[in-house]
Amino acid sequence: MSNWFCSLVFFCFAIAALDALKSQSENNWDLVRDNVHRRIKDKDPVSHSETVGSYGSAPNCSGIGPYITGWYKDPCPCHCGSGKTTSRRYCVWYEEDDKIDGGCVEKRTNDEKAKHPCTGALTAQRDCFHGPCLINTVIQQTADIQDANTNSDFYYTAITKGGDVCDVGVLDLPNYDDRERRNIDVYPLSMPCDVCMKSPTEVFDKINVTIVDGSDGWMATWIVVEVNNIKQTYYNNRWVDSYDGKNYGPQETFDHYYK
């Protein structure tokens, strides 16, 4: 057998052996990556921000580069309405560690501010929507005192604890004299409202009432606003009137006692 043939056979064997090693390394790497994903999933990845930590180890660091996982979507904070939420993903990498025999430590973080070798953002804001909140009804009673009644127009806004504002608009029943002394007015609305309410029992924090037409002041005993089938009563013992004064103003805030 000639020398050149010998060399060729040896060369082919060497290539095949290297390929086998490379393939095994890639398989190992897939295994490592699967394990990382399983461990991250087990740890409820979206409800916390994780600084650099060590998790498990790999047989060796060769061929394992830093990588970024897919996005883990955190839940929408809104029971109804639309809001913002943060999605996170992890940078995962490996570092040689002398304390582990021939080994390599897995590190990961989903904290934007932590030092890590990956490029690309680890957090992202995203919009989320859980269907509109629904204002079912507004009910109000005009106070039983002289001049409490009015024929002016009034604009209502409902404000959540988080500061989101729902424009309810002018409440006026057709063919009916609204806001007369002692009278209870009922406004069936079924009005969708795009504010973020965080639980099925959340009600509005306060209701603003503004006089928009005329100067005929109004005093209410109470206003009830029902949202998502939960009723809440709001109070303000001042006049809603066109002028600013000690006991009156063009916009008055109705509040509930229990917060």
Least separation in angstroms between residue 149's CB and Ca ion is 6
Least separation in angstroms between residue 80's CB and Ca ion is 30
Amino acid at 105: V
Strand order in the sheet with 230-234: 184-193, 133-142, 220-227, 230-234
Least separation in angstroms between residue 183's CB and Ca ion is 8
Give 87 or 149: the residue with its C-beta nearer to Ca ion: 149
Asked if residue 210 lies in contact with residue 155, where contact means CB atoms within 8 angstroms, the answer is: yes
Considering only 44, 147, 172, 255, the residue that binds Ca ion (CB under 5 A) is 172
Give 179 or 256: the residue with its C-beta nearer to Ca ion: 179
Q: Residue 79 gets which letter from DSSP?
A: S
Does position 178 interact with Ca ion (CB under 5 A)? The reply is yes
Q: Is 30 left (phi over 0), alpha (psi -120 to 50) or beta?
A: alpha
Distance CA 26, CA 23 (A): 5
Give 80 or 219: the residue with its C-beta nearer to Ca ion: 219
Considering only 108, 116, 179, 256, the residue that binds Ca ion (CB under 5 A) is 179
Give 76 or 220: the residue with its C-beta nearer to Ca ion: 220
Closest of 74, 68, 70, 120 to residue 93, by C-alpha? 68
The angle formed by the CA atoms of residues 249, 251 and 254, to the nearest 5 degrees, is 105
Does position 106 interact with Ca ion (CB under 5 A)? The reply is no
Does position 177 interact with Ca ion (CB under 5 A)? The reply is yes
Give 195 or 220: the residue with its C-beta nearer to Ca ion: 220
Distance CA 19, CA 13 (A): 10
Least separation in angstroms between residue 172's CB and Ca ion is 5
Does position 205 interact with Ca ion (CB under 5 A)? The reply is no
Instruction: Candidates 28-36, 95-103, 105-113, 145-153: pick the segment binding Ca ion (CB under 5 A).
Output: 145-153
Least separation in angstroms between residue 170's CB and Ca ion is 10
Does position 151 interact with Ca ion (CB under 5 A)? The reply is yes
Give 176 or 258: the residue with its C-beta nearer to Ca ion: 176
The angle formed by the CA atoms of residues 155, 161 and 165, to the nearest 5 degrees, is 35
Least separation in angstroms between residue 139's CB and Ca ion is 15
Give 102 or 174: the residue with its C-beta nearer to Ca ion: 174
Contacts 24+ apart (CB under 8 A), 32-41: 32/58, 32/64, 32/106, 33/67, 33/92, 36/69, 36/90, 36/92, 36/106, 36/108, 37/69, 40/69, 40/72, 40/90, 40/108
Instruction: Candidates 5-13, 36-44, 103-111, 176-184: pick the segment binding Ca ion (CB under 5 A).
Output: 176-184
Residues that bind Ca ion (CB under 5 A): 151, 172-173, 176-179
